[in-house]
Amino acid sequence: MVCDGFEILSDEAQKQIPELWTPHQKAELSRLGVEIEDLNAAYAWLQHELTPLKMARYGPVSDREAVVVELLSLCGLSARRQSEKANERRPRILIISSLIEPEFLSACEVFQYLLQTELSVECLVVDGINQMATCRPFAYYLVVLLFRGIFRDMDFTKLLMHAAYSAPMQRCLDMVPVIADSNFDFPSIDTLLKRHPISAPFPGGHAHAEQVLRGLRTVLALPFAPLSSAGLRQRQVAEIASRMHRYQDSVAAATQDKSDDLCVDGAAVPSYRDHWDHFVPEVELDGDEMVEVSF
């Protein structure tokens, strides 16, 4: 299976493979009956003689699921897939983060699966304003996975402001910050506001943006290590899930959710897409120079 962005080794790079192994490692391989020439042959076979499946690191989960189903079919295994129309989904917990790196998206999806399993409540990684506008009226919690450099991503900032904005007749989402990167360090609020000057096109304007950023920093963020052992990830997710008091009793919560849904279905849910149609943020550069960035 080949992910987009992968490049096969050139002939010159393949010749350098023996240099990547230490004498001790070569001795260990030799004791197992494997020589360096065998490794070169294996790389050549893998790259040139097999027809790979191709998987996009970005895009809908359903596309990646289709590749996995094809993989299982080639292995002689069967897979059961549950299809669900997007407009019928009513996730109660929304997950957002910067998606500029595929690894960030992968970490969010792993977290979504573990949290959904822990609470038996539908969760969703939101990838844009339209999806947020559709799902937000039925949600109660907003989980923000924090990675190093996340506040340089204006798409994330825009999505965060939209998610945290509550219009009349809309419920406020409880924000749950999660540190998913040990190198993450929360910058000061003044630094954030200076980096991303925020004006009226944001829902709620500058005052709302400052309130959201301060609220995100005020709440104690719990850790989640995407690359740690399965046991540690499960314990971390269980601790994060304990903050979502509404879903500690899943049966009672499901009944209450259905009751609340009737109120949402019976009300005219406003769309806030109009707040963003003409939004062109300013990004500060060195000195006083400003540049406009369109989405």
| Digit-coded pLDDT (tens) for 216-235 | 888 889 999 999 999 999 99
Cα dist from 186 to 144, 230, 283, whole Å: 13, 27, 19
Instruction: Give the per-residue pLDDT at 50.
Output: 87
CATH superfamily, domain 90-246+270-276, is Flavodoxin domain (3.40.50.360)
Instruction: Give the per-residue pLDDT at 266.
Output: 64
Instruction: Give the per-residue pLDDT at 197.
Output: 56
Instruction: Give the per-residue pLDDT at 272.
Output: 46
**CA dihedral sign, ordered 29, 32, 36, 38:** negative
Domain assignments of the chain as residue spans, ordered by start: 2-52, 90-246+270-276
CA distance 99 to 105: 6
Instruction: Give the per-residue pLDDT at 224.
Output: 97
Low-confidence ranges of the chain (pLDDT < 70): 79-88, 167-169, 195-205, 266-295
Per DSSP (E only), the strands in the chain are 2-3, 54-55, 93-96, 123-125, 141-146, 174-179, 222-223, 282-284, 290-292
Instruction: Give the per-residue pLDDT at 168.
Output: 61
Q: What are phi and psi of 201, to 5 degrees?
A: -60, -20
Contacts of residue 281, defined as CB under 8 A and 6 or more positions apart, other chains included, come to 154, 157, 158, 196, 197, 198, 292, 293
**Terminal C-alpha separation, the chain:** 32
Task: Please name which of 235, 260, 216 lies closest in space to residue 115, comparing C-alpha atoms.
Answer: 235
